[in-house]
Chains A and B, each alone.
Chain A
Amino acid sequence: MISNKAKKQIDAWVAKYPEGHQSSAVMEALKIVQAENDNRLTSDTIQAVADYLAMPGIAAAEVATFYENYNHKPVGKHTIRFCHNISCMLNGSDELITHLENKLGVKTGEVTPDGLINVKKVECLGACVGAPMFQIGDQYYENLTADKIDEIVDGLK
């Protein structure tokens, strides 16, 4: 359930914490396992992470459901995380989210029929001087306009 490659990545995080505190790595371990399982977690993968880190399954499940960056339902290959908090809102994020929804033909929370993209409204991502902005994968896209959004989305494969 956890590949050898993922185990190596998890081990590198475990090494950062004192002996016996390997559960400190649970947040990254869940992300690593999520990334190689269709970008979502299931009770089985959460349990596998817990077993690997020798912690109770319920403790890993608490973490997996408390934090925002874990998915428990099917998502697209790319999740567009669109900030709609105050600085982005003042700069037109609501209108741009509507533009994006219309372009993709799906609402926030839905996945495009080809399984490629889903849009999620998120709270402040800490790039307010570049508002409006969204995140795809590791990358931030700032000072968005409708044209810029079209270009970025058309480039997603």
Chain B
Amino acid sequence: MNEVCFKNLDQKDPWSLKTYEASGGYSVWRKILKGELTPEQIIDELKTSGLRGRGGAGFPTGLKWSFMPRNANMQKYVVCNSDEGEPGTCKDRDILRFNPHSVIEGMAIGGFVMNATKGYNYIRGEFMEPFYRFEDALKEAYDAGLLGENIDGSSVSFDLYTHLGAGAYICGEETALLESLEGKKGQPRFKPPFPANIGLFGMPTTINNTESFASVPDILAKGGQWFADIGVANSGGCKLFSVTGHVNKPENFEVPMGLPFKDLLEMAGGIREGRTLKAVIPGGSSTPVLTAEVAMGMTMDYDGIEKAGSMLGAGSVIIMDDSTCMVEALTRLAHFYYDESCGQCTPCREGTGWLYRVLKRIMDGNGKADDIDLLMSVQDKIMGNTICALGDAAAMPVESFLRNFREEFEYYIEHGKSMVKG
């Protein structure tokens, strides 16, 4: 446990340059500055490591980095997505607060590999403590001569800046994030063109999640195979899981991929006394909800969670015990997507409103007999019909809640009150 992003968590001032360097930090970056590592070697190690994008999509990081036209004669950018906002997710906040230098080193390495001399870390606007912590770390890194132009007399240059959001979940979508970095509304772009070709300010850009960047330095210091061996096939390494909801000790845990869910639940202190597990959302609010029975047999890796019928997402495990009214839980999530839809695509803009309003009327005791069919129809019409994944993210909870807990919705509609709470 706590082998990579959280490895210094129990040290004094884990966020300081001193602590980071004492545990081998910036050793890979210094090798690069001395010309002892090539971009090809780094990409090979990352491919071996099995590191997949930790923001939710799970795209192999090494492969993503290889897509950048590194020899194109134009400014290129690396961007870190610290716009953490998926309900249930709070891991990147802790990386920024407690291990900011791993993100700086990871981004600098990415900059070298992709021949991008400038980077931005997009931090959500509410994360002021993490922002100040990251800014302090940046200053330490500049003062130590680790960033800037022709660093330490080498031909390597890398400048890194922070950018703050202003409250919009959609900016966690990578092309919306780029729009936002350009000072616009965060409305996603069509793909293609992909950011690797036309990204920030029209230049080739690669965007990775905070945890992905933070994992890179250790992978390169200890070897891709070392990281791969921590995890299981197709899910290399360890991963941060935010375990929240009805557990005794909600916490972020960095554990090997493939850990049985029931072990993770136990690490979080188990279900509150006198209660039993009812449902689990394994990867953040956008991923399908699972019943207790299915969840208890699941392992925490990409394939394991997919086999159980959901997705690993950002590793945000939301635990619900038998006191939870599933109609209320889904209504809250539906309100979130309704609130956060950017309004660009009609199926999402209108559909999320329909989903919320129909659920709200069920909760107000005014549900109609065909409301479940209506909800299913609306979510089906959003799914796959929008520019970005927010539409799917709004649809998937609805479909899975209705499939797994249909009787609670039927009861609410028939009796005008909750089957669980009365």
Binding site for B on A (CB under 8 A): 16-18, 21, 23-28, 30-31, 53, 55, 59, 62-63, 66-70, 81, 84-87, 89-91, 122-131, 135, 138-140
Contact = CB atoms under 8 A, between A and B. Distances in A.
B93 A68 contact: no
B185 A124 contact: no
Nearest to B160: A16
Binding site secondary structure of chain B: mixed
Contacts of B126: 69, 81, 125-126, 135
A91 B245 contact: yes
Interface string B136-167: 00000000000000000000000001111111
B244 A131 contact: yes
Interface stretch (B22-30, B81-89, B373-381): B81-89
Interface of B: 75, 84-90, 92-93, 120, 124-129, 161-169, 180-186, 201, 242-246, 250-252, 281, 285, 316, 318-320, 324, 328-329, 332-333, 336, 339-340, 342
B244 A27 contact: no
Contacts of B161: 16-17
Contacts of B85: 123-124, 126
Given A86-B332, A87-B87, A123 B339 contact: yes
Given A18-B201, A31-B166, A86 B182 contact: no
A62 B242 contact: no
Which residue, A62, A127, A131, has most C-beta atoms of chain B within 10 A? A127
B125 A69 contact: yes
Q: Please give me the 10 A-B residue pairs with the lowest Cβ-Cβ distance, nearest first.
A: A68-B167, A67-B166, A138-B128, A23-B183, A69-B167, A87-B244, A128-B244, A124-B87, A66-B185, A16-B161
Given A30-B166, A86-B336, A90-B320, 6 more contacts: A18-B75, A86-B87, A123-B87, A123-B169, A126-B126, A138-B128
Binding site secondary structure of chain A: mixed
Contacts of B75: 18
Contact of A59 (B92, B166, B184): B184
B316 A128 contact: yes
B100 to A, nearest CB: 16
A99 B329 CA distance: 21
A85 B329 CA distance: 9
Given A18-B75, A89-B329, A129-B252, A124 B86 contact: yes
B87 A63 contact: no
Given A16-B161, A85-B87, A128-B89, A67 B332 contact: no
